[in-house]
A = this chain, B = another copy of it.
Amino acid sequence: MAQQKKIRTTIKDPDLVAQRRAEIVDVATHMFLEQGFHKTSIRDIAEACPFNLASLYMYVSSKEDILFLVAQHLMEEKARGLAEVAPGGDDPVEAFKDAFSRYCQIVHRHRQHVKLLYRELDVLPKDRQQVVLRSDAAVTDVFEKIILDGIRTGVFRQLDARLAAHSAGFLAHMWALKSWTLKRFVTIDRFIDEQTDFLLRGLVPEGSRW
C-alpha cells in the first residue's frame, strides 16, 4: 500500500525490491523474535540473507526500516484477515462472535509478530508508530461499530462502546502476550469460546440471552 512507498530504495525494479524485502522480513522476524531487536545486528540479518550487507542497504536505509517492514507485514496480514470477515450481518451478536474469533485466530497465527510489536514499537519514530497504531485502531473500530450497532438495536446494553471495543481487542492480544502461560491450561479454541462467552455476557443487558 501507500506505506510501502515510504521506505526509500535506490533500486529501480519494484519486483526485485519486493522479493528482497520479503526475504529480509522473513529473516529479521525470526531473529528479532529470538533475540530481540537490539541484540540482533544488521550483520546477522545480512548473513542469513542470500545477499550482502551492503546490498541489504540498497533495499532498506536503516535498521529501523527493517522493523517497520516487519510491522507492515503484520499489518497487511491483519488487514487481509479482517477483510474476509463478512461485514457482519444484521445480528450484532453473531457479528461480534465472528469478528472476535476471527481476530483471535489472526493473533494466534501471528502471535510472535504481535508480541514483537508490543515490545519494540517504541524503537520506531513517532510517525511510524502512528501508522502501526492506526492499523490497530482499525480493528478496534470494527468491534466498536458492531457494539454500537448492538446498542442501537437494543441487543446490547448501554455501555461505553469504545472502551468495550478496546477491551475486546486487548483480550485477543492476551493470547499473544501470555500464551506461554495460557497454553498450559487452555487451547486456542477453548480460549476463544470462553472469552467470547465472557465478553458477550458483559455486553448484553441483564436477564437477556443471546
Contacts and interface: CB of A to CB of B under 8 A. Distances in A.
Given A201-B202, A207-B207, A174 B178 contact: no
B162 A198 contact: no
Given A119-B119, A198-B202, A174 B182 contact: no
Interface in A118-140: 118-120, 122-123, 133, 137
A170 interface: yes
B178 A163 contact: no
A112 interface: no
A5 interface: no
Contact of A36 (B118, B123, B177): B123
Contacts of A123: 36
Interface string A169-208: 0110010011001100110001100110111011000110
Contacts of A119: 118-120, 122
A6 interface: no
A133 B170 CA distance: 19
A151 interface: no
A7 interface: no
A171 B166 CA distance: 10
A98 to B, nearest CB: 19
Given A119-B122, A163-B194, A201-B201, A178 B182 contact: no
A159 interface: yes
Contacts of A167: 171, 174, 195, 198
A191 B170 CA distance: 14
Contacts of A178: 166, 170
A198 B159 contact: yes
Given A159-B198, A170-B174, 8 more contacts: A38-B38, A119-B120, A159-B197, A160-B185, A163-B195, A167-B198, A170-B178, A202-B202
